[in-house]
Every structure is written in structure tokens, then in C-alpha cells.
Structure 1
Amino acid sequence: MKAIELFAGAGGLGLGVTRAGFKTLDVVEWDRWCCDTIRENRKRKSAGMGHWPSPREGDIRDFSFTQFEGKLDLVTGGPPCQPFSLGGRHRAHQDDRDMWSEAVRVVRETKPSAFIFENVKGLTRATFATYFNYIFLQLTYPEIDMRDGEAWLDHRARLEQHHTSNGSSALSYQVLPPEVLNAANFGVPQKRERVFFVGFRSDTGIKWSFPRETHSREALLWDQLHGDYWDRHMVAKRDRPMDIGKGAARLRSKPVLKPWNTTRDALVGLPDPELAPRAKSEFADHRYQPGARSYPGHTGSPLDEPAKTLKAGVHGVPGGENMMRRPDGSVRYFTIRESARLQTFPDDIVFHGSWSETMRQLGNAVPVDLAHVVANSVGGHLKAATNKKGNS
């Protein structure tokens, strides 16, 4: 199976797609630091990136993709999310960083069997409902392109009319109602919510649904109250939280799903770079970053829950998401390696740029494990459809 990766960033989504068995034919990213990260890991042959092509560095609007027409099983990417981010100015279609139209163009030019696009949860806010529907309609009918000088609302009206009249289109996709997936519910040690748009070309006949959640908070509470969570982490009884029993008291039996993975789970084997500065040298990108401080509303991520959502900002991130909070109440910034663990990047992946630049890369990334779950499900359905067609 063959794929291309748009808006690749540091490669989180692309790594999940590679792990799901897709061969990456093209990687596009405008940011030079992200491209340097990908190039370095290609050279190192890290985590499957050794089989990636060198990234096309630049503005996607300057690139053509017609050479891939009819050759792709999958197009993936995360169009820049700043227009929809809760931390941004919420300008959506008025923001020149909104690249959804480019994502649709690539689908139109390549006609892949399927696509996976992801974005921030903020895209689902009521404020953006009209534009959210516009994105959905564009992905459903990518060949109905915007006319020269046409306003996006007029384009949306044409798409809506086509949709409600059951009009035919040479190229159309069955797009599931987009869902917000919480990465923690799929084993990622981070409470990170992303919205996914997944579509299959209509002529494939594929019926698909989003993967079921595999992990839960209730299972974590059960493990901490009745299981071996504290013992396997060698946490003394005096250092265990006193309020665990309250949350688990209503659980009458062991939950079916697996426990959420916690920050403590993610950091197993990593020495504290502040308390053990010599040992940290055994791990790449694991350097202590001074300056963290706690104040009301800025308290960091507790060790025994999934981490808060890593953010692309660093100093001044409102909730202290990029800090860890130790049981004694002290805080420090996550190192790059720890942040990569929270985003489920393999340890052999290294990053280019300063700490703040790399934290931006990681804060914008899709957790590799979450990307793999979605891509693996999509890939499985594509393979089944191909086998069925071959046997008919």
C-alpha cells in the first residue's frame, strides 16, 4: 500500500502510517526545522523513516501532485491548525494559514483510495460549524472546485445543493462524520483530543467505522486500587495519593478495557535530568530545562495520570501542560525525550532545533500510537477490499 504525507511536521502521523504497513512516496512540510528532523532520522534509518523520501520543503501551494494520480492508497496530513486552535485567534477561513483547500486539492489531483486528515478539537466548536460542514462537503466532492473569484460561502452553497440533490460526481468519497478521539483512550500517556476526517473513495464500496477505545480511566483507577500499579513502579505507600479510593469506590468489578497509561508509565527507564544529570547523557534530547514554576492554574501534569495535552507553546502555556508535577509538589519542564515519550515517538527518533523549537514540533504532532490505530484500521479495510476484488 502506498501513501503520501502532507503537512508532515515532525512525522508523528507519518510514522503511524508507516507502522501500519504503508510505503511513503512523498513527504511535504514547509518548516525547515521539521524537515531537518525528518532528514536526520532518514539518515539514521530511525523507526522506519529510512524508507521515506527526502521531504519536499516549501509551501504546498507551490507543489503539484498529479504525478501520483491513480497510484495512491492513502493521503494523510494535518493541515495547519492555528486558525482553529483554542489558543489562536479563531479566524478559520480568513486565516492564510488555513490549508484545508490544499488538502482537498491534493485529493482531487491524486484520487487516492482513502484519506486521513486530523486537526485540533477546536475545529468542532460551534463558532466554526458552518466552515466545519464546508470542509466535510469539499472532502466528499473534491472535484467540485471553487470557481475563480467565488466566495467560500457561495462554493459551500453549490456543494450543499449538489449533496442534497444526490448529484453525481466523477470523484466522490464516503466521509464518516468526523470524530474527536482522545489519545489516552487508545493507550497514549496523554489526554490529547484530535478530530479525524476519514474518507474512502465511493467506488471502493468500503464501509468503515472508527476504532473502538481500548483504554479507560476507570481501568486505571482499578489498577491503582486493586492492581499492581504502585508496586511495579516501586512507589512507597506513604507516597501514594490518598484519594484514589474515592474515584474507584463505585467500580464493582474490574473494567474490561486496559488502564490508561500514565506519565509515570511513559517515563519508565528515564533518569530525572535534574536529579541525575550524569545519567541523562545515555538518552538523546534528555536535557534539563530550568525555569519552571508553579502558580494557580499552572501546576503541570501529575505523574499518575495521562499527561495534559502538550502544547506548541512553552513558557507561558496557560495550564502548565509542558511541565511535570512531582508527588512532593515541585515542578520542572519535560525534556524533549520525555515529551517525545508522551507523544509515543520511539526513542531512536531525534529532533532538530532548540528546546523551544522542538517543543513546538512535539506540541503540534499527532501521537504516533494514535496515528497507527487509525491508519492500521484504514489499511486493513483497504487490503480486505483489494482481496475481495481479486477473488471476485
Structure 2
Amino acid sequence: MNTFDVVEICAGAGGQALGLEKAGFEHALAVELDNNACNTLRANRPSWKVVEGDVADQAVWRPSDYRGVSLLAGGVPCPPFSIAGKQLGASDERDLFAWAVTQVEVVQPRALLLENVRGLSMPRFAGYRQHVLDRLTELGYIAEWRLLHASDFGVPQLRPRFILVALKAEDAPYFHWPEPEAAPPTVGETLVDLMAAGGWRGAKKWAKKANKIAPTIVGGSKKHGGADLGPTRAKRAWAEIGVDALGVADAPPPAGTPADFMPKLTCDMVARIQGWSDAYPWEFTGRKTSRYRQIGNAFPPPVAHAVGAAIMRAFQHEGSPRELENTEHDPVYRALRSSESFVTPERLMKIARLENPAELERRIGLLSRDFDVEIQTDGTKTRYKLGDFKAFTGQENHERHNLFLQHRARIS
């Protein structure tokens, strides 16, 4: 009987890990920076090899030791692409997406699975995405991006995640993105038993008001204070369904609490909203704020399960094969990348079917945030040439190393 092993990088506290396990993958290794998350992984799966440290440090683990693994997976840091942040992309010392793609050449997995925030799907990162697809093509993989919503897989919150799946040519035609399932339960339906666990008689009345799915749970980072449920807009959305989002409670409301009380969520409740349940049992270690961050930053297990199962079906060549090819995202990037010399704005606009020079300048500006773009000026004539990718891909002299060491205590 075949076994399918997975190396998981930036594993967090186990959301993706549990989902992949449910899909039939066996963990050969899980690598994670955060000590508390590592403790949670070890507490739940003592038999797994869990390594703590910077995933890009070969003193922590050697990717070449896992050559030929079935799946290389990970939820690399989100802040470089987050809409709520500065979207520094390749210039952010926390960016490990490009590095993870580079490891495909070393590890040669049968498939690659990476997930991140919705911000990576936006026009700001069109060139970055295209570079990733082109690199995977060079390595012999066929890759696709897809924006999946956790609420389509039974998880009672919005939580869009941008997923990259890449497979070798023999398996790729059999990969089909998972189809949405039945509508998820509401927050009230999901949490009414936990809200009533302390004897609060107002739990059922509260549950009727909490008749929507939740806004996206925000785990936050070590740069900020204690646990709460997100920025101002999210807090307003929580208030509309009867939840006080200014912090996380230690326990559910006790007996004698007024029926019209607006409760806070406990960590157990947040975990339930993230998709952990009797079907996906898991325990979190550490203090409350740490537990909340572990839960809030996770990939919901049911979504990881659905994607992992789709990859597993592709490995086993189930279903009908389909046309699958790397999608082109940015014609300006492709035109610059395919030319060894400088390219005129007129040619770029023709290739990209642009009519407004200002739009070309905007796109060049976005590209220059992730790539070195050389500009040649001759009188009134301007030409462009694409230079190096700025992202960290494993370079020993990359500034990422110094920045990482300076900010390590605040990276999560």
C-alpha cells in the first residue's frame, strides 16, 4: 500500500497539518518558528518530527534530506501580502513564498501546496505571481492559483485564502479544485453549546441573534498587544451578531449573567469558528494570547482537508483528466522577462493591450517593488529592462538575514 508523506514548512499550530492528515498524508517533518506552536504540534502528535527554528536556516533542517517527498506544503507568512499591511512583498524580510518555491528544485516533491492571504491575488502582485508560475514551469511543474473561501467548506467564517497547487505533468491533469460544500452553520449554531457551558440562560437567545457567519478571524502578530478579534470594521461586524470583539474571554458567561449580555469569545470558541470540532479534534498549549494567535493564524483544517484530498485524488489518477496549464497573469512582466534588451513603452503597451501610458507607468511601478527594473533614458525616449527578483530565495548575502535577526522576537 502506498504511503504519501508530507514536509510542512511554517506549520503553525496544526490547522493545515490536521487537514492533510485527514486527507491521508503522513508527516515526515513539520518546521515552525514559534515555540508555542511547536509545543502544540508535539502535544497533539508526539510521533511527528517537529523542528523549531527559522525554516530557511539549514542548521534547522536540510531540504535535500527530504528529496522525493510526496508533498511540500506550508502556510508561509502573510504580512508581506496582507491588505491590512504595507504589502511590501519581496522587500519584506518575512517573505518566504519565493524561498518555498525555490525549494521545489531541491526537494523535487510530487506536489507543492502553499496558502496565503487574499492580498496575494491582487494586481499589486501580478508580476510576483507570474514569476512563481514561470519558475515552477522551468522546474517541470504545472501550477494553478485559486481563491478559496472557508465558508464553502463548512467553516462558519468568511476567511478567503489564496492557494497555489503545483503538480508534475503526469498528475496535473487529474487535479480538480474541491467543489463548495453545503452552506456553513451560523456563529450561533456553531457556538450555542459552548456559550451555555457556564450556565448562561441567555445562550439560546444570543444564538438566534448570531445568525450569520463570522468575519475573518485575525490572529494578529507579536508586534501588537493582546488578543482581540480584529480591526475596527471587524469589531463592528462582530457587534452586529452580538459578540464583544475587544478581547478574548477566559470562560463562557456564568450562570446569572443577564440575558442581554454581549459575550466575548473564548479560545475554544474561536477554534470552533476556525474549523476545529469533534471531526477535527485538537488541543492548544500555552497562555491565552498565544493560544489565540495560534488558532487565529491557522489554515482551517476542513479547507486543508479538501485541498489535500484533491491532491491525493490526482496522485491516484481518479476522475477524468482535464486541460491544466500555468496561467498568465502579467503580460508586461512576461514581455520584459522574455527580452534580453531594453523594451520601449510602445511595444510594452502593444503587447499588454494598454491604451493609457499612465497605466503602463503604474504597472512598471508595481513591478519595481518586487524586481529591479532598469530604466534607460535617451533624450525623450525611455526604455525598460527587467532585472533581478528582489525576493529572498536562499541567497547567503540577502538582507533578509540581518532583518530577520533584528526582528525575530516580533515575527509570527
Q: Does 1:62 align with 2:35?
A: no
Q: Match for 1:206 among 165, 173, 176?
A: 173
- Please show how residues 237-256 of structure 1 align to structure 2 within 5 Å: none
Q: Match for 1:181 among 139, 148, 168?
A: 148
- Please show how residues 68-217 of structure 1 align to structure 2 within 5 Å: 68-70=66-68, 72-141=69-138, 171-176=139-144, 178-204=145-171, 206-214=173-181
Listed as ranges, the gaps of 5+ residues in structure 2 are 221-226, 244-258, 322-412
Q: Match for 2:9 among 6, 9, 20?
A: 6
For 1:136, the aligned partner's letter is: L
For 1:317, the aligned partner's letter is: P
Q: Does 1:30 align with 2:40?
A: no
* Residue number in structure 2 paired with 1:52: 48
Give the Cα–Cα distance (whole angstroms) in 2 for the partners of residues 200 and 114 of structure 1.
4
* Residue number in structure 2 paired with 1:375: 308
Match of 1:341, SS state, is helix
- Please show how residues 321-340 of structure 1 align to structure 2 within 5 Å: 325-326=241-242, 330-340=261-271
Cα shift readout 1:234-277 (whole Å, capped 9, x = no counterpart): xxxxxxxxxxxxxxxxxxxxxxxx33321123224324467649
8 Å CA contact retained: 1:3, 1:24: yes
8 Å CA contact retained: 1:65, 1:109: yes
* Residue number in structure 2 paired with 1:353: 286
Give the Cα–Cα distance (whole angstroms) in 1 for the partners of residues 137 and 53 of structure 2.
27
TM-score by length of 2: 0.63
Give the Cα–Cα distance (whole angstroms) in 2 for the partners of residues 318 and 302 of structure 1.
20
Give the Cα–Cα distance (whole angstroms) in 2 for the partners of residues 344 and 197 of structure 1.
21
For 1:304, the aligned partner's letter is: N
For 1:172, the aligned partner's letter is: G
* Residue number in structure 1 paired with 2:273: 342
Indicate the percent of aligned positions where both proteins have the same amino acid.
32
For 1:21, the aligned partner's letter is: G
Give the Cα–Cα distance (whole angstroms) in 2 for the partners of residues 23 and 333 of structure 1.
37
Q: Tell me which stretches of 4 or more aligned residues in structure 1 moved more than 6 Å.
A: none
8 Å CA contact retained: 2:27, 2:48: yes
* Residue number in structure 2 paired with 1:220: none
* Residue number in structure 1 paired with 2:398: none
8 Å CA contact retained: 2:276, 2:301: yes
Q: Does 1:304 align with 2:211?
A: yes
8 Å CA contact retained: 1:26, 1:52: yes
Q: CA deviation at 1:32?
A: 0.9
8 Å CA contact retained: 1:323, 1:334: no
Match of 2:72, SS state, is strand
For 1:318, the aligned partner's letter is: T
8 Å CA contact retained: 1:323, 1:333: no
Cα shift readout 1:297-349 (whole Å, capped 9, x = no counterpart): xxxx9621111100013346323459563398753332110111111124542
* Residue number in structure 2 paired with 1:265: 189
Give the Cα–Cα distance (whole angstroms) in 2 for the partners of residues 208 and 187 of structure 1.
22
Give the Cα–Cα distance (whole angstroms) in 1 for the partners of residues 9 and 118 of structure 2.
19
Match of 1:5, SS state, is strand
Give the Cα–Cα distance (whole angstroms) in 2 for the partners of residues 112 and 200 of structure 1.
8
Q: Cα RMSD over matched residues?
A: 2.7
